[in-house]
């Protein structure tokens, strides 16, 4: 007669299952935390890259425009009196603020006209203006560049143009004469700088850091104006 044997199989106890689940939960939470931090860092780096690119484009654009700025001297004959009057185009830099932040404006005549219309072949002088505006639903201020051919009527103050960059914290300009004296504003139509371009313009552009709003990204450059000591078209 053959005996039948009984096989006893042992499984996991409840305690072992709970310990295993706890270990898995700890590992998963660590992985998710690391993954979340990585994504956050990637987003921050991408945001930084965008800001540096905008700053690079904006500062390069302003530098090229300012380096080609001129003071234009024209001779206008007056038939009644038979005399000539010298008309000087104005370089104007205004020290302004928006919400207690620097939001300066500068306007000048330049040879750096950029046509955004394929049908517009004009390549002469243009009045270029950089100005700051506050736009609803935007986190920061917006920097505009207006470019109007000299032969056309310029738009009203702080209108027209295209957006150069957004998310601006502040925009501050300083002007220096040939002696190195600093001015917070400049008006070539009057005063001690009448009929003069600044010898150098200092540009300070700050962008909002969304991860640390109290410490914006700061960018600064200086631009020398080659024609500061001359009048374009002046025959005298």
Is 80 exceeded by the pLDDT of residue 81? no
Quote the domain boundaries for residue 163.
Answer: 46-224
List, for residues 34-77, the tens digit of each pLDDT value: 766 666 666 656 667 888 888 999 999 999 999 999 887 655 54
- Higher-pLDDT residue of 106 and 234 is 106
Q: What is the pLDDT of residue 86?
A: 46
Residue 10 covered by a domain: no
Residue 17 covered by a domain: no
List, for residues 9-33, the tens digit of each pLDDT value: 566 787 878 888 888 888 887 877 7
Residue 201 covered by a domain: yes
Q: What is the pLDDT of residue 39?
A: 63
Residue 184 covered by a domain: yes
The domain total for the chain is 1
Residue 25 covered by a domain: no
Residue 74 covered by a domain: yes
Give me 177's structure tokens.
């004469």
Q: What is the mean pLDDT of residues 88-110?
A: 92
Q: What is the pLDDT of residue 4?
A: 53
Residue 217 covered by a domain: yes
Q: Which of 52-61, 81-90, 188-197, 219-228 has the lowest mean pLDDT?
A: 81-90
Residue 21 covered by a domain: no
Q: What is the pTM of this model?
A: 0.74
């Amino acid at each position: 007669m053959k005996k039948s044997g009984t096989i006893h199989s042992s499984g996991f106890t409840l305690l072992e299952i709970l310990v295993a689940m706890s270990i898995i939960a700890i590992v998963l939470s660590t992985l998710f935390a690391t993954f979340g931090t990585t994504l956050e860092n990637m987003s921050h780096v991408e945001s930084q890259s965008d800001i540096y690119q905008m700053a690079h484009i904006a500062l390069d654009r302003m530098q090229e425009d300012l380096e080609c700025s001129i003071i234009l001297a024209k001779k206008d004959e007056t038939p009644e009196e038979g005399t000539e009057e010298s008309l000087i185009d104005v370089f104007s830099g205004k020290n302004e603020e928006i919400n207690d932040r620097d939001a300066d404006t500068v306007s000048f005549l330049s040879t750096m006209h950029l046509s955004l219309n394929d049908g517009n072949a004009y390549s002469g002088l243009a009045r270029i203006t950089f100005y700051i505006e506050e736009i609803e639903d935007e986190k920061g201020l917006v920097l505009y560049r207006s470019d109007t051919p000299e032969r056309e009527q310029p738009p009203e103050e702080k209108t027209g143009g295209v957006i150069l960059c957004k998310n601006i914290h502040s925009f501050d300009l300083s002007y220096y004469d040939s002696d190195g004296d600093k001015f917070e504003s400049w008006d070539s139509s009057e005063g001690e700088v009448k009929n003069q371009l600044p010898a150098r313009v200092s540009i300070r552009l700050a962008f909002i850091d969304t991860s640390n709003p109290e410490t914006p990204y700061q960018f600064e450059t200086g631009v020398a104006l080659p024609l500061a000591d001359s009048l374009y078209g002046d025959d005298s």
